[in-house]
Each structure stands twice: as C-alpha cells, then as structure tokens.
C-alpha cells in the first residue's frame, strides 16, 4: 500500500464549478499537508499548506485535513480554465522529505 493515495482522475469540470480533490494517507506522523499545482512541462508550485488538522482558506482555494480519518482535501471555488493542471498532495513528517500522491489532473472547460 502506498503511503499517500490520490485518485489520478482525470477530472473535467465546467468553468465556475467547484473542484474537489482528495488524498488519503497511512502515516500518522504526518504534520504538514502541502498542496502543489503542476502545469504541463513545469515544476510543482506550492499552492498552500496546513499544519495538523483543520481548514485553511486562500482566495478561491480551501485546504482541509482530518487527521482522525487520515483524509486531505483541496477545494477550488469558481474554477477557471487557468486552474487546469495536475494537483499533488504532499504530506510531511519531519523526515526531511515530502511524500507525494500521484497527482490528479484537472481540466476546467471554458
């Protein structure tokens, strides 16, 4: 079993829809929960992160972590075509590395 599981999609939504992305993980030592966005042929770009359980909002993006169920979510409100990318969850546990999910590819149709 992988340490971090992420549905690869692909996910296709119309412009303006809410995009919901999820990961599950097995390592209870994870403390920071990062979300990266990766455009085609580019490096991962840090979108936002949360520490421990709870919610964090940044503009149209909301990250949620439920440590009791080992579940990580990212919501994108009012999605735009420019949000079309691969989204990677990446928890971290003080072992000096990010543990990446395989990534979910999202297409927002204009």
The secondary structure of residue 98, as a DSSP letter, is: B
Query: Rule CB under 8 A: is residue 71 a binding residue for other proteins?
Result: no
Could you tell me where the beta strands, DSSP code E, fall in 1-110?
A: 4-6, 11-14, 19-25, 32-38, 45-51, 54-58, 61-66, 71-76, 85-92, 104-109
Q: Which is nearer to other proteins, 84 or 86 (CB)?
A: 86
Q: Which is nearer to other proteins, 79 or 91 (CB)?
A: 91
State which of residues 22, 32, 64, 107 lies at the interface with other proteins (CB under 8 A).
32
Size of the site for other proteins (CB under 8 A): 24
Candidate ranges 3-11, 12-20, 64-72, 74-82; the one touching other proteins (CB under 8 A): 3-11
CB of 89 to other proteins, least distance (A): 10
Q: Which is nearer to other proteins, 68 or 94 (CB)?
A: 94
- Quote the CA–CA distance of 78 and 26 in Å, as a whole number: 31
* 62: phi then psi, degrees, rounded to nearest 5: -130, 130
Write out the residues near other proteins by the rule CB under 8 A.
Answer: 4, 6, 8, 32, 34, 36, 41-46, 49, 88, 90, 92, 94, 96-98, 100-103
């Amino acid at each position: 079993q992988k340490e971090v599981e992420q549905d690869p999609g692909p996910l296709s939504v119309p412009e303006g829809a809410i995009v919901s992305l999820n990961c599950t993980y097995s390592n209870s030592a994870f403390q920071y929960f990062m979300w990266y966005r990766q455009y085609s042929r580019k490096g991962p770009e840090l979108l936002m992160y949360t520490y421990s359980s709870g919610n964090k909002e940044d503009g149209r993006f909301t990250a949620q972590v439920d440590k009791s169920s080992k579940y990580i979510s990212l919501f994108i409100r009012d999605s735009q075509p420019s949000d079309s990318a691969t989204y990677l969850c990446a928890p971290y546990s003080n072992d000096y590395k990010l543990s990446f999910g395989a990534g979910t590819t999202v297409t927002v149709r204009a």
